[in-house]
Structure 1
Amino acid sequence: MARPVGSVTRGTTGVNRLRRADRWLSAVHGRLLRAADRPLVVDLGYGASHSTTLELFTRLRAVAGDVEMVGIEIDPARVALARPYEREGLSFVLGGFELPVPRPPTVVRAFNVLRQYGEAEAWGYWDLLRGKLAPGGVLVEGTCSETGHRAVWVCLDSAGPRTLTFSARFNAFDRPSELADRLPKTLIHRNVPGEPIHAFLRDFDRAWAVAAPYGAHGLRQRWLAAVETLADGWPLYRTAPLGGAGRWRLGELSLPWSAVAPTS
């Protein structure tokens, strides 16, 4: 076997750490999985524990009963620890960004994997992974906090990045701009004046401040009010499956990647 493409990550993981992204993926792309012939999902770089891969498998099986999942890790010891938990439809293999799987995946999830790389490398791995997707498939790449209470992810298809999603527990921040530390590698160093992502987070903080009186009715009500204000100036998705009150009430919001893409 050729050497896997990529480098070993810290491997930090934990039970339910990726539940926010899993919930979003099930709701937004469940139809894609149900429509696919023999849908294959890859969990790339699952870390020192198999738990988040098993959780995603269980959640996706609830919306698409024939989903098959492969967890890929570049560390042989981690693969060996995970293999006793294999079952019908779920397996673990040694590999990296080359994706050693039997057919093109419908969905690739890669969380907390690209943070150790430079921005140019992250763009390159996006391109590599997009080129391996099944027709109509998606790559969900992002990062989250240790507890999973703050997360940001990008959804890409074969043509490139399409959406950016912020998700947070309502008491996990004082200002929305604190989610900047979860931005994908392709954006995290662009959070400077003159870049769209900086303007977005600045306006989100302002909307949060304006919505402060709604906090008397709870942080969820303050979030909803802030998002409504933010949507007056930014193209937030307002309807299902990507937006609207149903998703906003969960502490989520999504907008087109084009609204926050780097200027150069």
Structure 2
Amino acid sequence: MAAYGGRLRGAADPVAVDLGYGAAPWTAVELLGRLRTVRADAEVVGVEIDPARVAAAAPYARAGLTFAHGGFEVPLPRGRRPALIRAANVLRQYDEGQVAEVWARLRERLAPGGVLVEGTCDEIGRRHVWVAIGPEGPRTVTFATRLGSLVRPSDLAERLPKALIHRNVPGEPIHAFLAGFDHAWSAAAPFAALGARQRWIRSVQALRAAGWPVTDGPARWRQGEVTVRWDAVAPGARGCRFPGVGGTIRVM
């Protein structure tokens, strides 16, 4: 999430929304702390559909941190529009066919230049995959992990966002990407002697060399992240060639 804090730096109204923060407001509290390192007047509004959760979070409200009852309409007072919306684990119970509609509703609420970050993570934050979505649509997919817990990159498949998780089958780009990542990880096994971080970096370098459109760099790779363009792994891409194990595959 640190990679998106810069969105608030030049925002006319530096407000972010933590949509569906859950039974306890810890993610909203943490988000405010991170964003305040980028901009001292940043604000976070935690939004929950369950009134009981909003009431339970109220004691944690303070300057710059408030909680509101609502859903995909993202209710902010005085017509405010957020520069950042984070929605983690919100769409897990929805059908894949509903994702585009939800994305569209949330995109409409963004301030100009804003970004929606929608994805899935595990309960303790070891593994997280999210899509970054601008007002025009999805841009990138980020895969993030605590490297010490990783056996192989495809372990992240269980945390794919709803738009991708049912597409992790042969013939789909996301499956090709994860298979290629596993192949690169295996080839980088000698670097494990230098630590999981060096093995991850070497694997990502191999992915980029193979033609995958990696959009970030070593500063994020060292944190156990890698970001690729959405159009490289989007569901049902047609007529494109993607790097695969032992060569390329064509998704038809």
Shift of 1:171: 2.2
Computed over aligned residues only, the root mean square deviation of the Cα atoms, in angstroms, reads 1.1
- SS of match in other structure, 1:57: helix
Match of 1:87 in 2: 62
Q: How far apart are the structure 1 equivalents of 2:213 and 2:226?
A: 11
Question: Contact 1:106 / 1:136 at 8 angstroms: preserved in 2?
Answer: yes
Q: How far apart are the structure 1 equivalents of 2:114 and 2:227?
A: 19
Match of 2:241 in 1: none
Match of 1:55 in 2: 30
- SS of match in other structure, 1:131: helix
Shift of 1:32: 2.1
Q: Which amino acid aligns with 2:13?
A: R
Structure 2, unmatched stretches of 5+, are 238-252
Shift of 1:38: 2.0
- 2:48 aligned with 1:73: yes
Structure 1, unmatched stretches of 5+, are 1-24, 238-242
The Cα offsets for residues 176-223 of structure 1, whole Å up to 9 and x where unpaired, read as 111011111001011111111010000000000000111112111111
Runs of 4+ in 1 over 3 A off after TM superposition: none
Q: How far apart are the structure 1 equivalents of 2:226 and 2:235?
A: 19
- SS of match in other structure, 1:114: coil
- 2:97 aligned with 1:120: yes
Question: Contact 1:38 / 1:66 at 8 angstroms: preserved in 2?
Answer: no
Shift of 1:172: 1.8
Q: Which amino acid aligns with 1:235?
A: P
Match of 1:198 in 2: 175
Which of 116, 135, 158 lines up with 1:158 in the alignment? 135
Shift of 1:30: 2.9
Greater length-normalized contact order (CA 8 Å, ≥ 6 residues apart): 1
The Cα offsets for residues 127-163 of structure 1, whole Å up to 9 and x where unpaired, read as 1101111111100011111211111011001111001
Q: What count of residue pairs does the alignment treat as equivalent?
A: 234
The Cα offsets for residues 32-58 of structure 1, whole Å up to 9 and x where unpaired, read as 211111211110000000111011011
Shift of 1:86: 0.9
Match of 1:263 in 2: 236
Q: How far apart are the structure 1 equivalents of 2:163 and 2:24?
A: 26
Q: How far apart are the structure 2 equivalents of 1:104 and 1:183?
A: 28
- SS of match in other structure, 1:96: coil
Q: How far apart are the structure 2 equivalents of 1:117 and 1:172?
A: 28
Q: How far apart are the structure 1 equivalents of 2:91 and 2:149?
A: 23
Q: How far apart are the structure 1 equivalents of 2:123 and 2:193?
A: 29
- SS of match in other structure, 2:128: strand
Q: How far apart are the structure 2 equivalents of 1:224 and 1:62?
A: 27
Q: Which amino acid aligns with 1:152?
A: V
Question: Contact 1:145 / 1:151 at 8 angstroms: preserved in 2?
Answer: yes
Question: Contact 2:18 / 2:87 at 8 angstroms: preserved in 1?
Answer: yes
- SS of match in other structure, 2:40: coil
Shift of 1:101: 0.7
- 2:224 aligned with 1:247: no
Identity of aligned residues (%): 58
Q: Which amino acid aligns with 1:48?
A: A
Q: How far apart are the structure 2 equivalents of 1:99 and 1:31?
A: 21
